[in-house]
Amino acid sequence: MGFKKLIPVVAVPGIALAMAGAAGPAFAAATSENAPAKAASASGDAHILQTKKSWKCSTPKGQKFNVNYSSGTNSTTFYFNNHCNQKRAFRVYLVDGVGASMGSKCISVNKHTKGKKKVWHIAESVKKVTSPAHC
C-alpha cells in the first residue's frame, strides 16, 4: 500500500474525531437523552436490551426452550435454543402503532437446535411471544 493510499484512510477518521470534539458537551447531552437503553456485556460492548422468554421441557427434566429478541423498526431477530427432546414452537403476536392486532407468525424449532429467525414487519411491533403445542 502506497503513501497516497494511506492519506485518505487516516484523514477521514481524524476529521470525524475533530468534528465530534468540536460539537462539544451540548451535542453529547442531546444525543444521550434520545439514545435507546443499553447494557454492557461481559466483553464491554454495549448492546440494546433484549427480551428473554423460556419454557420448561417435558423431557429432559430441568432443561428449557429459550427465545431472546430485541424488537427493531422494520424487523425483529429471534434467537432460540431448544434443549428439549421434542420439537417446540413459538408464536409472535404483532401490533401496529395504535395497538391494533396485526396477526401472528409461528416458528417451529427442531429438538436440540440453536439458531435465529428474522421476522419482517413494517410499522408493527412485537406485542408478545408464546409457546403453543405446535404451529
pLDDT, mean of residues 4-32: 46
Q: Which of 17-21, 45-49, 66-70, 88-92 has the lowest mean pLDDT?
A: 17-21
In 3D space, the residue among 92, 100, 99 whose CA is nearest the CA of residue 120 turns out to be 92
Q: DSSP for 65-113, please give it.
A: EEEEEEE-SSEEEEEEEE-SSS-EEEEEEEEETTS-EEEEEEEEE-TTE
For the cut 70, the answer to whether the pLDDT of residue 47 exceeds it is no
Tracing cell 460492548 back to the chain, one arrives at 45
Domain chopping of the chain, boundaries: 3-35, 49-130
- Measure the CA–CA gap between 66 and 85, rounded to whole angstroms: 14
Q: What is the reported pTM?
A: 0.61
pLDDT of residue 125: 84
What class has domain 49-130?
A: mainly beta
Higher-confidence position of 25 and 94:
94
Given a contact cutoff of 8 angstroms between Cβ atoms, the answer to whether 119 and 79 are in contact is: no
